[in-house]
Chains A and B, each alone.
Chain A
Amino acid sequence: MPIDMSQFYEVFFDESEELLAEAERLLLEINIENPDIEELNAIFRAAHSIKGGAATFGMMNMTEITHVLENLLDKIRKHELALTSEHVDAFLAAKDVLKMMVDGHRLGSDVDAKMVADVKMQLSALSEKSGASLSKPAPATAASAPVVGPPPAVEAPAAIAAAPVEVQAAADGLKRFDIELPETSEKDVANLQEELGLLGEVVSAKRADGRYVFTLTTDSTPADIISICSFVFDPDSLVIRDASTPGIPAPEAPAPTPTPTPETESQSRVEIHEEVGYGLFSLPGKENEEEGYGLFAPFTPHPDAIEAGAAAPGDSTTAEPVTPAVTENANPGTNAILENQEKKNLGRRETDKAPASAETTSIRVGIEKVDQLINLVGELVITQAMIEQRSSTLDPVHHEKLINSIGLLTRNTHDLQESVMSIRMMPMDFVFSRFPRMVRDLAGKLNKKVEFVTLGATTELDKGLIERIVDPLTHLVRNSVDHGIETPENRRAAGKDEVGKLTLSAAHKGGSIVIEVTDDGAGLNREKLLAKAQKNGLPVSENMTDSEVHQLIFAPGFSMAEIVTDVSGRGVGMDVVKRNITSMGGMVEIRSALGYGTTISISLPLTLAILDGMSVSLGQNIYVIPLNLIVETMQPKMEDIKTVTNEGLMVHVRGEYLPIIPLYALFKQDTEITHPTEGVLIIIEAEGKKAALFVDTLVGQQQVVIKSLETNFKKIQGVSGATIMGDGSVALILDVPAIIKMGQHNQPQGVHQ
């Protein structure tokens, strides 16, 4: 059973990214004066897990940096060093470097070696500084250089852990392990020997009592050995001894316990369950049962360290009896996020707390599988609708039972559809979590003080939308910090708190999700906006409502320089934001009060796969128009229809002349209704342009499942996709922006009478 390591790479990358994101979140939250030990521990764990994984997969550059990071963290964690904002900055920089490395390994993107070296130096320097300032525990704390120190038995592993170069050596270098097997069949022994052969050189010897002892020379860790053996044996029954040179035992090697006590063994087993794939540092950590990562035991018995008040991990857990649960509750605002973090993370934390429940609470599934499931369920819903439609003609008296069953089927199908659709849903936190860092950096750069609050991070949204909302939202948040929130001086002058407040919120409202970016900054200035618009030649009047005036900032090329902050233009690229959101089927709205702040509100459909549409008929065919692009529908009177030189059909609506685009002419379809007064005009608006689409009749408003035409066919101009109607027939979804463009080149030749 050869083990293909490559299958674990993806898991490791995913997990690393999650851990990095988690670490970043914690770093941003951390209270520098009085850091929460649990948070420090969590950051430490993240660094540690990444280091473990990186070492397993041979990504030495990551191992090195996490190692230095870990050392520094460990010191802070043990109060050998006071946390400063300098540290936090360095940690954040290290996080960025690690992310870059993960991307480097995963996508083959460039890794900036200089940046890596800088960060490593910075971390080392911070570690050294600590050594200088807190000279007492110096030997154990100097991280950049191998350590000289008291008792060799204790110090040797510490030296390895402290020197990145040597870690590499240790990880690359071979170690010898004696593995005592329990009594078992010859076949199992042979199998196991073969498996272990993949890790390194195995020599098997039979002992007098009939049990086998393997001597394995490998660069792997005991955890790897245990995970392989656990396919054959209960790991409890195994005894693994590090038989390498006694002076330099691997730091992560389990304490050589020839007859392990049950508790330590169960501890190590739980660890392996948790970190399958790269469970590197699992060792019987009896000194740290609650945390489940008893790594740095070698540091702690150091007499000086103990003197200095650096409690042993065992002590630290007892000294800080703050359970993770308490911390989570203590900080509900942002810790709500934690609950919505990828559940696997949570699962992991829970296992950390209670080793007994080692089951994971989530599984990773490929998105194609989910999409296939969604497609199939979509089919089921259509089929079910067909059955329902056909059964409606049956006599309810004779077919009562059948009709009842169909009713049941309808309900179950809809429940099923709902559950399946929810699989694709992800909490908004995936988007929100990246902003605290951005706001912090930006505020620092601009010398502003900003308090960043997120609300409703649990709100779920379709994965496809989540990915597409990031850019527009980033733009809006950046705008709010840059131009919305004033400088502390200006805020003081305006009688406001120096610290500006930026709120990012998400909530469900009906069938859509509403995401709002709110700042308590200067707000939009109506007069200046109007003046600017007039200068830009936009059609404005004093009678416009505030909301219409605010919408002006979305006008293409509408630079807002000198309007909001006199610094630069809020609204640079705002038209792009609006276009992105509209293309997702969403809408943007602005509420602002001068001097009190601005709220930009985005409302989006819950999923990309479903569209709120208006179905219209044209001859024999049904077309669907996205509802969010329809302004109104009307049946025009003869006198509203105008022409220019008996061409260029127009309609006069509310003081505006809009071009009429007859769909039958555009799509060259036969229909009996060829004059706008006989049919219906649908006023559509896209990319700032309005037009009146002329169709036969309105059929109805409904949600449709969007299907691609391009899968088996090709892109058709004026059609954005197709959908399957309740009767199984196909209806085309109109591409409104394209139709407006087509209409300009395809003006009807007068009115067909």
Chain B
Amino acid sequence: MSMNTEMSAEKNNAENVAHSHEYLTFVLGDESYGLEILKVQEIRGYDAVTKIANTPDFIKGVVNLRGLIVPIVDLRIKFGLGKVEYDEFTVVIILNLHGRIVGIVVDGVSDVMGLQEDQLRAVPDIVTSIDTRYITGLATVDEKMFILVDIEQLMNSQEMALMDSMAIH
């Protein structure tokens, strides 16, 4: 987990908060991503999951989160990034998307930073495994690029197969 953006985050926070959004940044392989901090409920370690039959392999299964049955998605498998290992350093970000609780497995969580809208750059037309529809923008902080993801759209999308609209098999 890198802490190298801490300074810039503080600096950004100090500036005009009204036009800035706070992002939780996380690492997938060599790339840094950000998602809106307000969608995050908590961050926890990776527990044993209960596998669910006939679901894509990136859906690891479900866990018991204080009595709630919560599905866990491994974004590393979904986007083919990073080494898929599960150890004591594996991090699960628990998202609360309008009451739906979903966990995502990432390589690591780095920081919380405030970004202003004018710091965001549009995504050029490229072919990626994440549909560019779900990328709200790219931001550069300390010469490092952060890919900002609309996590709610992404998680509700058909390709994540987390919703009922998606047919199984």
A714 touches B166 (CB 8 A): yes
* B residues near A712, Cβ cutoff 8 Å: 68-71, 100-102
The reply to whether A716 and B55 form a contact with Cβ atoms under 8 Å apart is: yes
Interchain CB contact under 8 A, B64 and A724? yes
Max count, chain A CB within 10 A of own CB: residue among B61, B66, B101, B102: B66
A715 closest partner in B (C-beta): B164
Of the candidate stretches B10-18, B46-54, B80-88, B131-139, the one touching chain A is B46-54
**B162 to A716, Cβ gap below 8 A?**
no
5 contacts between A and B (CB under 8 A): A668-B53, A709-B62, A712-B100, A712-B102, A730-B64
- B163 within 8 A of partner (CB): yes
Q: Of B48, B66, B169, which contacts A379 at CB under 8 A?
A: B66
How many residues of A sit at the interface, in one of the four size bands? 20 to 34
**Inter-chain contacts of A719 with B (CB < 8 A):** 52-53
How many whole Å from B98's CB to the nearest CB in chain A? 11
| Chain A residue at minimum C-beta to C-beta distance from B52 | A716
Is A361 part of the binding interface, using a Cβ–Cβ cutoff of 8 Å? no
A residues less than 8 Å from B162 (CB atoms): 713-714
Give chain A interface residues in 509-523, CB to chain B under 8 Å. none
Encoded as 1 (CB less than 8 Å from any B CB) or 0, chain A from 688 to 731 comes to 00000000000000000001111111111111001010001111
**Which residues of the partner chain B approach A669 to less than 8 Å between Cβ atoms?**
51, 53
Q: Is B168 an interface residue (CB 8 A)?
A: yes
The 8 A CB mask of B137-169 against A (1 = contact, 0 = none) is: 000000000000000000000000111101011
Which residues on B sit within 8 Å (CB–CB) of A718? Answer: 53-54
Which of the residues B54, B61, B70, B166 comes within 8 Å of A717, measured between beta carbons? Answer: B54
Give the interface of B toward A (CB within 8 A).
48-55, 61-64, 66-71, 100-102, 161-164, 166, 168-169
Are A707 and B67 in contact (CB-based, < 8 A)?
yes
| A27 on interface, CB distance cutoff 8 Å | no
A555 at the interface (CB under 8 A from B): no
Within 8 Å of chain B (Cβ to Cβ): is A362?
no
Contact A713 B71 (CB under 8 A): yes
A732 to B54, CA, bound (A): 13
Q: Of all chain B residues, which has the CB nearest A710?
A: B164
Give A714 to B48 CA distance when docked, in angstroms: 20
Closest to A722 in B: B69
**In the complex, which of the residues B64, B68, B166, B169 contacts A729, with contact meaning CB atoms closer than 8 Å?**
B64
Quick one: given A712-B101, A714-B163, A715-B164, are A378 and B54 in contact (CB under 8 Å)? Answer: no
Q: Does A111 contact B (CB under 8 A)?
A: no
Q: Are the CB atoms of B69 and A707 closer together than 8 Å? A: yes
A722 and B54 contact, CB distance less than 8 A:
no
Other-chain residue from B51, B53, B68, B163 in contact with A711 (beta carbon distance below 8 A): B68
A193 on the B face (CB < 8 A)? no
B53 to chain A, nearest CB (A): 3
Taken together as a complex, chains A and B put the C-alpha atoms of A732 and B102 apart, in Å, by 18
A712-B68, A716-B54, A717-B169 provided; 15 other pairs, C-beta below 8 A? Answer: A667-B54, A668-B54, A709-B69, A712-B100, A713-B162, A714-B161, A714-B163, A714-B164, A716-B168, A717-B168, A719-B53, A724-B69, A729-B48, A729-B50, A730-B64
| Alpha-carbon separation in the docked complex, A171 to B68 (Å) | 53
With a CB–CB cut-off of 8 A, which chain B residues contact A568?
none
- Asked whether any CB of chain B lies closer than 8 Å to the CB of A621, the reply is yes
Check A708–B69 contact: CB distance below 8 A.
yes
Known contacts A730-B62, A730-B64: A713-B69 contact under CB 8 Å: yes
Task: Across the interface, name the chain B residue whose C-beta is closest to A380.
Answer: B67
CA distance A732 to B162 in the complex (A): 17
A621 with B54: CB separation less than 8 A: no
B62 in contact with A722 (CB, 8 Å):
yes
In angstroms, Cα B169 to Cα A728, docked, is 29
Q: Which residues of B contact A729 (CB under 8 A)?
A: 48, 50, 64
Residue in B49, B54, B161 with the greatest tally of chain A CB atoms within 10 Å: B54
A731–B52 Cα gap in the complex (Å)?
Answer: 10
Which listed residue, B50, B70, B168, touches A731 by the CB 8 Å rule? B50
Please measure, in the bound complex, the distance between the C-alpha atom of A116 and the C-alpha atom of B101, giving whole angstroms. Answer: 50
What are the 6 closest A-B residue pairs judged by CB atoms, nearest first?
A: A667-B53, A730-B50, A379-B67, A713-B71, A714-B164, A712-B101
- Least CB distance from B102 to A in Å reads 6
Q: A728 contacts which chain B residues (CB < 8 A)?
A: 64
State whether A621 touches B62 (Cβ < 8 A). no
> In the complex, what distance in Å separates the CA atom of A420 from the CA atom of B52?
32
Complex alpha-carbon distance, A9 and B166, angstroms = 42
The distance from the CB of A715 to the nearest CB of chain B, in whole angstroms, is 6
- Determine the chain A residues whose CB is within 8 A of the CB of B161 once the complex forms: 714
- B64: which A residues are within 8 A, CB to CB? 382, 724, 728-730
A713 surroundings in chain B (CB, below 8 A): 62, 69-71, 162
Expressed in whole angstroms, the minimum distance between the Cβ of B64 and any Cβ of chain A is 5
Task: Check if A666 is an interface residue, CB within 8 A of chain B.
Answer: yes
How many Å lie between the Cα of A379 and that of B55 in the bound state? 27
A230 sits at the interface (CB 8 A): no
CA distance A382 to B54 in the complex (A): 28
Instruction: Name the residue of chain B whose CB is nearest to the CB of A708.
Output: B69
Q: How far does the Cβ of A83 sit from chain B's closest Cβ, in whole Å?
A: 56
Q: Report the bound CA distance from A539 to B36 in whole Å.
A: 63
A65–B161 CA distance with the chains assembled, in angstroms: 56
CB neighbours (8 Å) of B102 from chain A are 712
Taken residue by residue from 267 to 293, chain A's Cβ proximity to chain B (1 for < 8 Å, 0 otherwise) reads as: 000000000000000000000000000
Q: B10: shortest Cβ distance to chain A, in Å?
A: 34
- Choose among A621, A668, A730 the residue that contacts B69 (Cβ–Cβ < 8 A): A730
**Nearest B residue to A721, CB-CB:** B69
Bits for A620-647, please: 1 = Cβ < 8 Å to B, else 0.
Answer: 1100000000000000000000000000
Say if the beta carbon of A503 comes within 8 Å of chain B.
no
How far, in angstroms, from A716 to B61 measured CA to CA in the complex?
11
Assembled-state Cα–Cα distance A713/B101 (Å): 8
CA A273 – CA B71 in complex, angstroms? 51
A375 touches B100 (CB 8 A): no
With A and B bound together, what is the CA distance between A204 and B51 in angstroms? 74
In the complex, A169 Cα to B7 Cα: how many Å? Answer: 75
B69 touches A711 (CB 8 A): yes
Chain B residues near A621: list those with CB within 8 A.
50-51
Q: Hey, which chain A residues are within 8 Å of B101, CB to CB?
A: 711-712
Chain A: CB-nearest residue to B70: A712
Which B-chain residue is minimally distant from A375 (CB atoms)?
B67
Cβ–Cβ < 8 Å partners of A707 in chain B: 67-69
CA distance A730 to B48 in the complex (A): 9
Which residues of A sit under 8 angstroms from B169, Cβ to Cβ?
Answer: 717
Q: Min CB distance, A490 to chain B, in Å? A: 54
Chain B residues closer than 8 Å to A714, beta-carbon distance: 161-164, 166
Contacts of A668 in B (CB 8 A): 53-54
Q: 8 Å CB contacts to B: which residues of A657-672?
A: 666-669
Give Cα A562 to B137, complex, Å: 74
CA distance A731 to B102 in the complex (A): 18
Residues on the B chain within 8 Å of A710, using CB: 164
A715, B54: Cα distance in complex, Å: 12
A707–B168 Cα distance when bound, in Å, is 21
Could you say which residues of chain B place their CB within 8 Å of the CB of A667? 53-54
By a CB distance below 8 angstroms, the chain A residues around B166 are 714
Smallest beta-carbon distance B74→chain A, Å: 15
A742 to chain B, nearest CB (A): 10
A452–B46 Cα distance when bound, in Å, is 61
CA distance A715 to B164 in the complex (A): 6
Closest residue of chain A to B49, judged by CB?
A730
Give the complex CA separation of A141 and B128 in angstroms: 87
| Docked CA distance A711–B168 (Å) | 18
What separation, in Å, do the CA atoms of A666 and B53 have in the docked complex?
A: 8
